[in-house]
Amino acid sequence: GAGVSQSPSNKVTEKGKDVELRCDPISGHTALYWYRQRLGQGLEFLIYFQGNSAPDKSGLPSDRFSAERTGESVSTLTIQRTQQEDSAVYLCASSSNRNQPQHFGDGTRLSIL
């Protein structure tokens, strides 16, 4: 499809395991964002990619969180040694440039047992 695609849609894992979340942005969108949304709360910025520039990692909550993006395509968000507090919906968004409207995927619902 033409929208932002995220996989998996749901992930259940045990505390201490590593997880990898994937985001396929809209083709041609140079900007890509990752957010975390805890139950009943707003969006928490995690990381921003813009083209080939160094990413803005200022929102990553700890060194267990990392993200990569290859050029202007797929991005993966990795959480190492997951904790129960990591349980949330992780949303990815892309836009044609910063300050342009973001197009969101449906998110990955992560549950840590």
Nearest alpha-carbon partner for 90 in 29, 13, 2: 13
> Which residues would be at the binding site for another protein (CB under 8 A)?
4, 6, 33, 35, 41-43, 45, 48, 50, 56, 58-59, 91, 93, 98-99, 101-107, 109
**Minimum CB distance to another protein, residue 81 (Å):** 27
Which residues have CB under 8 Å from 56's CB, separation 6+?
47, 48, 50
Q: Considering the complex, state which of residue 2 and residue 14 has its C-beta at the smaller distance from another protein.
A: 2
**Minimum CB distance to another protein, residue 19 (Å):** 19
Report the C-alpha gap between 86 and 15 in whole angstroms. 9
The DSSP symbol for 101 reads P
Q: Considering the complex, state which of residue 9 and residue 83 has its C-beta at the smaller distance from another protein.
A: 9
